[in-house]
Structure 1
C-alpha cells in the first residue's frame, strides 16, 4: 500500500472505506442498541472468561458508523453482590435518569446469590450504581434462569421486564421506580411467554400496533446460534414462532445471535444489532458486535437478514 493511502486508512479508519462490521474493535457480545438524546448507543457484554466479566463498557455514535468507547460505565465495584459474569445489559431512560439492567454471577440454583440487577446513573456514560442493593430477580421462576433481561415500555407507559435462560422466558410488570414488581390481575408476578424454540436473549418492539417478540435459538458457543421471532396482539402473547431471520453464513461468520433492534425515529428504517463469531475463530468468547439493515415485507413479516462485512451506511440522527 502506498504511504499516503496507508496514512489515510489509519486516519479515517476502515469504516470510511465501507467495512463497517464489526462496528468497534474488541470482543463484545449481547449488544443492546438504543437512541438517547440524538445519539446512538450500544451497551454490550465484554466477551471474556466469566471471572473477567466484571464490568460493562458503552459505545456512542452520531451516525452508526463511527463509535466512541466509554469504558466501565458499570463494574462490580458498584454492585456488592456481583462478582463475575456481568452480562447482557438492557437500558432505559426515565424521568431524566438512566437505568441499566444486567445479569451477574450466572447462578445455577436458588441457593446461589446473583441474577438480574438494576443500576442507576444521571448520564448514559454512568457511573452506574446499584439501585436496590440486591438482585431484582434472584431466583428461578417457571424454570427460567434469571439472565438476559430486556426492558420493554408498552403503549400505555407500563414497563415490563422480559428475561430468561434455560429455554424459558418470563414477563413481569415493573414498579414505576424499578425497585420491584406489580402483580397481574390474577395475582401472578412471573408470567411465562416461552415460544417454541426459545433459548434466551429476548427482545420486543411494537410496529403497526403489533408486538414483535424476538429471541435467540441454539447454543451460544456453537455455529447454530440464531434469531427467530413471533408476532402477537399483546406483550403477553400468545407467541407462535414464525421463522428464523438471522443465522450463520460460514463464509463470513457463525453464531449470529443475541440481538437488539434500533428504529430510526419516525421512520420505517430498522437496524438489527447482534454479535457473531468471525470466520476462523473457534474461541468461546471470540464474538464481535455488528449491525445490519432489518426489513419487512408487505405483510409485516421480517425478511431474513444477510450478515455482511459492509454493515450499514452512515445515518446521522436529526438534531
Structure 2
C-alpha cells in the first residue's frame, strides 16, 4: 500500500492538482481503513489527525507529524483515545489564547438517543489529550437517525449519529458545525450549535432538520462533513462532500457562508454555476 489520504492543492479553490498521498500506512491487519484526516500547523510542524480501523469497527484516533503540509506524515506511535472503543472525525482547534482542543465523534450508549455524538478534550503537546473529555452535542432530532435496529456492542439499538465537528470562532462566540444522520442516505446534512466557550454549553438553532445543508432531490444527495476555509477573496466557504445524483461517488463541494446576526447561512448546496472566488 502506498501513502494514504490524497492531498489536493489549489490557489483559487477552483483549480486543483494532486500532490499524492500524505500518510505512511501503519502495519497490521487492524489498520485497514483510514478516515477523515485533518491537519493543524503549530510551532513549525504539521499534525495530521485521523482515525484507523476495519470497516466501521474499532476506529481509534491517532496523530502523525510532518515538516510540510503535503507530508510525508509519519505516525507518532500513540492512540489519542485508548479508553474509547470507537472514535472518529478528529478536529483540532486553537483558541485565541493559544489553547488547543480536539473535537471528535464517539459512541454513547446511555440516554434517549443512543449512538455516535460529539465530544471535546484539551490537547497537550499536540499529541496527547489532557483532562477529561466533555460532551459537546448528542442527537436530539429524528433526522439524525442513522439506522433502526442496529447491532452494536452486543445489543440492538435505534442508532443516531452526529459526526464531523468543525469549530469556528466568530465575534467572540464559537460555532460547531457538524453532520448528522446516515451518510449513505438523503437525510444526511449539516447543522451547527453555538457556545461562549470551547467546552460549551452548546445551543442549537430552532427548527427541524439540518440548518445549513440538506439534500436537493435529483441534484445533490447527503451533503456532509464540512470544513470552513477563508478563500482568496477573504470570504468564508463551507467545503463538504456530497453524493452525485447517480450515487457513484461523493464529490468535494464548496459554497459561500454568510454570517448574519442570527448565525451562519449557506446558499446551498449549489448545483448550478456560481461566481468563482476572486483573487485579492
- Per the shorter chain, which TM-score range? 0.7 to 0.9
Equivalent residues in 2 for 1:176-255, closer than 5 Å: 177-183=125-131, 189-195=132-138, 196-197=140-141, 199-242=162-205, 244-255=211-222
Which of 11, 18, 39 does residue 91 from structure 1 map onto?
39
Q: Could you say if the C-alpha distance between residues 164 and 270 of structure 1 is closer, same or farther in structure 2, counting changes exceeding 3 Å?
A: same
What corresponds to 1:118 in structure 2? 63
Could you give the per-residue CA deviations for residues 35-71 of structure 1, whole angstroms, max 9, x where no partner exists? xxxxxxxxxxxxxxxxx99710111111111111111
The CA deviation at 1:108 is 6.6
- SS of residue matched to 1:303: strand
What corresponds to 2:276 in structure 1? 313
Contact kept in structure 2, 1:230 and 1:240, CA below 8 Å: yes
From the two aligned structures, give the one with the greater strand fraction: 2
| C-alpha distance in structure 2 between counterparts of 1:274 and 1:107, whole Å | 22
- 1:80 maps to 2:80: no
The CA deviation at 1:199 is 1.2
Contact kept in structure 1, 2:166 and 2:227, CA below 8 Å: yes
Q: Could you say if the C-alpha distance between residues 277 and 62 of structure 1 is closer, same or farther in structure 2, counting changes exceeding 3 Å?
A: same
Equivalent residues in 2 for 1:1-319, closer than 5 Å: 55-76=4-25, 79-80=26-27, 83-106=31-54, 112=58, 114-131=59-76, 133-140=77-84, 145-165=86-106, 166-175=115-124, 177-183=125-131, 189-195=132-138, 196-197=140-141, 199-242=162-205, 244-264=211-231, 267=234, 269-281=235-247, 283=248, 286-297=249-260, 299-309=261-271, 310-311=273-274, 313-316=276-279
| C-alpha distance in structure 2 between counterparts of 1:190 and 1:106, whole Å | 25
The CA deviation at 1:201 is 0.8
- SS of residue matched to 2:79: coil
Contact kept in structure 1, 2:255 and 2:266, CA below 8 Å: no
Contact kept in structure 2, 1:53 and 1:84, CA below 8 Å: no
Contact kept in structure 2, 1:227 and 1:245, CA below 8 Å: yes
Q: Could you say if the C-alpha distance between residues 255 and 107 of structure 1 is closer, same or farther in structure 2, counting changes exceeding 3 Å?
A: closer
Could you give the per-residue CA deviations for residues 102-122 of structure 1, whole angstroms, max 9, x where no partner exists? 01115877xx5x401100001
The CA deviation at 1:134 is 2.8
What corresponds to 2:154 in structure 1? none
The CA deviation at 1:266 is 9.8
From the two aligned structures, give the one with the greater helix fraction: 1
Highest relative contact order (Cα 8 Å, sep 6+), 1 or 2? Answer: 1
TM-align CA RMSD: 2.4
The CA deviation at 1:208 is 0.6
What corresponds to 1:13 in structure 2? none
